[in-house]
Amino acid sequence: MNPLVTPEWLASRLGDPQTRVLDATLPPVGVAPPSDTRTRYLASHIPGALFFDIEALSDHATWLPHMLPSPEEFSRRMGAMGVGDGMEIVVYEQEGVFSAPRAWWMLRALGAGRVHLLDGGLSGWIAAGLPTDSGEVAWPAASFAARLAPDAVKDFAQVLEWVREKGRGQILDARSAGRFAGSAPEPRAGLRSGHMPGAISVPFTELVAEGRLKPAEQLREIFLAKGVDLERPITTSCGSGVTAAVISLALEMVGAAKVSLYDGSWTEYAQHPDAVIES
């Protein structure tokens, strides 16, 4: 299934009460001063779009960033926003491809069936000559029953098994080549750079061109050139579980079926006393 939709496809469905549009823009890590993406949303968004605050919707009972919340909490928050079971959901971000795939993955992992990503995001929408709106948006409360999809998420223990037992599965790392190699620092203070033994470097920026994911044929060529076996189990990782979802989305586009995401990602792995790190 191709999860991408065009601005024209979305425009034809904006009047449907069973369609919800979500702006899922996060400010990039390590950039100062941080971008106020909610203020930018209030200034300009697709008509009827809600702000899907990835940080606010994450699990705050853990020190790890952006972790999935419990199904119960996600159900409550989605229902309060007006996002209900069975709705058609389209996520986008204001520029580029960075955080909207994380929202796509969160929704999919927690039971939403029809979730798409707007190709080109808000920039592509505006370039297509379509209108924007401003200010707050409110939809009537709905019922959302979140259910964690089996095998959607990997934890540290499961990833460590893959590291120790070669052949169990493939780990694809979305961080930059320098961070993967240990030659560039991590944006989070105190974290050692490097990589998990056996991991494959797939910087998420290599999957993107001109603010969009590359076509499926090009994505397939990239994965195959890096030695990725699309028929074998894969888990994706990055710094904090956000850009790992860019790889997950790209794998969806090329038909890989056995894909999970390591939610703790490098932030957890690099600080664990049992972690083995190569550089």
| List 97, 146, 234, 238, catalytic entry | 238
Which positions ≥6 away from 201 have C-beta within 8 Å? 173, 175, 177, 180, 181, 195, 226
- Separation between Cα atoms, residue 146 and residue 70, nearest integer Å: 9
Question: Which of 88, 114, 84, 79 lies closest to 16, judged by CA?
Answer: 88
Catalytic residue status for 238 = yes
CA angle 122, 124, 126 (to 5 degrees): 70
Question: Which of 142, 114, 155 lies closest to 264, judged by CA?
Answer: 155
- Separation between Cα atoms, residue 37 and residue 34, nearest integer Å: 9
Judge contact between 249 and 108, C-beta under 8 A: no
> Catalytic amino acids?
238
